Amino acid sequence: MALTVLGLSGALSHDPSAALYIDGKLIAAVEEERFVRDKHAKNRMPYESAKFCLEQAGIKPSDVDVVAIPFAPISLFEKARWHYAKRYWYAPDRALDALLMGNRRFKRYRKKIVWCLEQLGFDTKKIQIVPVEHHLAHAASAYLCSGFTEKTAILGIDGKGEYATTFFGYGENGQIHKIKEFYDPDSLGGLYGAMTEFLGFEMLDGEFKVMGMAPYGDASKYDFSRLASFENGELVINTDLANVIGLRRYKEKGKGFYFSPKLIEWLGPKREGDIADDPYIHYAASMQALFEKLALQMMDHYLGDILKETGKIAFAGGCALNVKLNQRIIARDEVKELFVQPASGDAGTAVGAAAFVSQQRGVPVEKMEHVYLGPSYSNEDVIAACAKHPNKPVFKQIDNVEKRIAKIMVDGNPVAWFQGRMEFGPRALGGRSIIGCPSIPGVADRINEQIKFRERWRPFCPSMLDTVAAQMLKVDHPSPFMTFTFEVNEEWKTRVSEVVHEDGTSRAQVLKREYNPRWYDLMKELENLTGNGVSLNTSLNRRGEPMICSPTDALNMFYGSDLQYLIMQDVLVVKDGCDWHDSL
């Protein structure tokens, strides 16, 4: 009996997404923001993404057996709502609301999902909607997709779900067992988010920037231990300073932040603008150091015994995208392998909820080997988009794509690279990327200034052939999804200097050819030309915009930047005066 499960996320009013499993195989997964061109698609439901999943599978709404949603009602007889009420005593309206109306958000979300399904043509009287607790969905997205067969430690850290902020558990024989949860406001992700705001960035987006800024600072200059502690198995955030609500919030120009005026008294004014300087670089370093220290203490406390037993750990939640923490986890003697769900943030909970329900109904899901799960476009689609575009693109269909593009890159040009199915999750992995030759000095700055318009201190990442990883990286560990940083061997720091960060590390994608042959073959051509089978790789978008989805999106971005070359499938688009490299 076939089983078709559609997962729909969007419970927390950001990052709605859809994922479709048919008989344990992930057919499609995609974020709503890519279709609606609005980063994080706040306050939207996953309508376009669900529509795409059904189209990709060639099925009708009536073919779906069950809809899984990553948000569930939380009983008053459990600890979560009481903990929330007690810790937020200073905002009695919120505290009482948690006790009396604690599942209001779930009911609202379910109602919106029903509306969304109706728009898609579902018979909502017949379709079964199964709620899965938010952190259980994160846990499932990590453990069930990891392919691990041994007993596996499971870690989930994010801002918050219904009430839980942190999850410790283990997976065995496809079943997930909960060991411990922490509840709002005791949230390491929330604290990192609050400090992200203090450092002048947007929560949800800026955490990567704080992590990128940290290596420029000195963590020992400021003691951040008063912000949070982990003692006797409990995480406690100092809600005098951060993770604050209501009247405790610091306000500026009518906007309330997740930290209090007392934090400003202690650390000085909130950072403004694009410059990363003293003391803010040191604050970033101190926050990152505290985050790593507490996360590792919590992991040791709750998961240490399981790790000593099998050495396998699966990690999800927004904080699993903190690649510096992941580097520290891999470095632990007892850890043999860490699987990080590539879409660790809330978008990944659509996959997790659907995987959980599939597993529950007796259909285990396959290991997640790649994230090329979004739409793809043919040469005909690309040419049609070019023909319609107001900028009247100059284009032609070429052969020897990999050879020609490698030559353009080695001549010092960044290239917009649009191939195959779009990636799921926040990382460009050779489907929708801006690429450059990492041995050419200044190519990263050029991409930053002319194309990405992003902060100077943010690193660019390498994608590399699986044959290169052992030579370039100091630690041997699978890294198909750019979820880890690695120390780079001395010789390679100069060979591919454009993709090595300030602290001598790189956040690497290590590619096996079977998952993206064209991307692999391009790096092979780069290796033939330069001796390095490595490409600089950053997402195909401009600052503040979601990653590109369609050929029209790519053309809009291309003409809104100083990029000179755009390759979509076999169709090369160039700007005036560019060389076609016809000699190949």
Q: Which residue from 403, 347, 374, 384 is spatially nearest to 581, judged by alpha carbons? A: 403
Query: What is the pLDDT at residue 159?
Result: 94
pLDDT in tens, 164-181: 999 999 999 999 999 999
Domain covering 4-159+341-360 in this structure, CATH number: 3.30.420
Which pTM value belongs to this model?
0.96
Query: What is the pLDDT at residue 459?
Result: 79
Q: Quick check: helix, strand or coil at residue 65? A: coil
Query: What is the pLDDT at residue 581?
Result: 66
Token representation of residue 453: 């318009």
Which residue carries 């997740």 as its tokens? 258
Domain covering 379-574 in this structure, CATH number: 3.90.870.20
Query: What is the pLDDT at residue 416?
Result: 97
Amino acid at 352: G
Q: Cα-Cα-Cα-Cα dihedral of 164, 305, 288, 195, to 10°?
A: 10
* HSE value, Cβ hemisphere, 13 Å, CA-based, for 175: 5
Q: At what angle do helices 280-310 and 323-330 cross, to 10 degrees?
A: 40
Domains 4-159+341-360 and 183-340 are alike in CATH topology: yes
- Cα separation, 567 vs 79, in Å, equals 54
Q: Quick check: helix, strand or coil at residue 382? A: helix
φ/ψ bin of 56: left (φ > 0), alpha (ψ from -120 to 50), beta (otherwise): alpha
Mean pLDDT of the chain: 95
Strand ordering across the sheet containing 128-131: 25-31, 17-22, 4-9, 66-69, 128-131
Amino acid at 296: L
Hey, CA dihedral for 493, 496, 497, 503, is it positive or negative?
A: negative
Domain boundaries, the chain: 4-159+341-360, 183-340, 379-574
Q: Which residue from 336, 344, 297, 333 is spatially nearest to 313, judged by alpha carbons? A: 336
Q: Is residue 205 classed exposed, middle or buried when 0-12, 13-18 and 19+ CB atoms within 10 A define those classes?
A: middle
* HSE value, Cβ hemisphere, 13 Å, CA-based, for 128: 9
Token representation of residue 93: 């309206």
* Non-local CB neighbours of 514 within 8 Å, separated by 6+ positions: none
CATH class of 183-340: alpha beta
Query: What is the pLDDT at residue 448?
Result: 84
Q: Quick check: helix, strand or coil at residue 377? A: coil
Strands (E), 384-508: 394-397, 415-418, 432-436, 461-465, 485-487, 505-507
- Cα separation, 188 vs 359, in Å, equals 30
Residues of the chain with pLDDT under 50: none
